[in-house]
Structure 1
Amino acid sequence: MATINDCYTSARDCTATLDNFAKVTFDDISRTYSYLTPISGKRLFTKEPYQEFTDH
């Protein structure tokens, strides 16, 4: 069974792992939402029913 004495960590340069993790997570989620699939593209860029059948 591993205990706290068995743990070993190493850090170089900057150790702000929480900040880096939060930034990377936010960037990944932002990029996921900017990617359009063929299905989501049709759904996002269609007109609403009231707009589709007006003369304006």
Structure 2
Amino acid sequence: MTGTYVTGSSLPDCSHACGPCFPCKRVMVSFECSVAESCPMVYRCVCKGRFFHVPSN
């Protein structure tokens, strides 16, 4: 089976972003945007309610 590829930026890998906290999950953070503008998709790594910086590729 081949891997899944995403067009544009790749999704962040949060597997090691939360240090010893487990499970570390990727979540999408939403913003309030006006109808006339497009909202950027922003991801954060979260573990047990704490947010961690997304590692850069």
Larger of the two Rg values belongs to structure = 1
Q: TM-score, normalised by structure 1?
A: 0.24
Greater per-residue strand proportion: 2
Greater per-residue helix proportion: 1
Higher relative contact order (CA 8 A, sep 6+): 2
